[in-house]
Amino acid sequence: MPAISQRRPWLLLGAVAASLCLGACSSVGDSARGALTAVTPYKVEVVQGNFVSKEQVEALKPGMSRQQAREVLGTSLLTDVFHSNRWDYVFTIRRQGVEAQQRRLTLYFNGELLERFEGDPMPSEEEFVAQLDTRKRRGSVPPLEATDDQLKKFDPPKEKPAESQPAPTAPQPPLPAVYPPLESTR
């Protein structure tokens, strides 16, 4: 019995520590939650599918061949075996802190010719790039043109007179035509 009585204080201490830890979990306040959300790890923005711009949709015209439509939009993401006259272009973007966005465009063919197309309004390429670029802009953009004085630093050095140039060295002998084997022969 003495072995059980020696473990009893440790069991009691463990039970008290566990109850204190569980009690602390329920007392996390809004300020602590705010601090924890500020320290969340970076989540990669996920762009999936075929991005179709407003300019590409405007280039589509009924009566185009399948090949012409493919040249404008690229190969469709979804190919339905049961509906060979239909191409679906689906685009999804998932960003941290923003609800996932999904856009669709469906092309309908009659034989080899585009009959009609329908889908969500698409952003222009410029709007899409601006939407992806979430960096905060600070200050003004520096000038991207160099002055003539700045470019002179990169001019090649002037050639030296012929007498100060070193004499050309003798040509090197050619490399052997036969190389040692890659594997050792036994």
Digit-coded pLDDT (tens) for 20-51: 666 555 555 666 666 666 666 666 777 788 88
pLDDT mean over 167-179: 78
Span 46-132 CATH architecture: 2-Layer Sandwich (3.30)
Structure pTM? 0.49
Q: Tell me what the pLDDT averaged over the chain comes to.
A: 77
- Cβ-in-10-Å burial (0-12, 13-18, 19+) of 105 comes to buried
Evaluate whether 40 touches 89 at the Cβ level (below 8 Å): no
Q: For the chain, what are the domain ranges?
A: 46-132
pLDDT score recorded for residue 148? 84
Which of 109, 126, 136, 141 lies closest to 55, judged by CA?
126
Q: How many CB atoms lie within 10 A of CB 31?
A: 8
Q: Which amino acid is at 100?
A: A
91-124 pLDDT, tens digit per residue, is 888 777 778 888 999 999 999 999 999 999 988 8
pLDDT at 6 over 60: yes
Across residues 54-64, what is the average pLDDT?
92
What is the model's pLDDT at position 161?
59
Average pLDDT for residues 138-165, to the nearest whole number?
72
Q: How many CA atoms lie within 13 A of 133 on its CB side?
A: 8
Q: Assess contact for 131 and 123: CB atoms under 8 A.
A: yes
Average pLDDT over residues 129-138: 67
Phi and psi, residue 148, nearest 5°: -60, -35
Q: In whole angstroms, what is the distance from residue 51 CA to residue 64 CA?
A: 20
Encoded tokens for 148? 């003539």
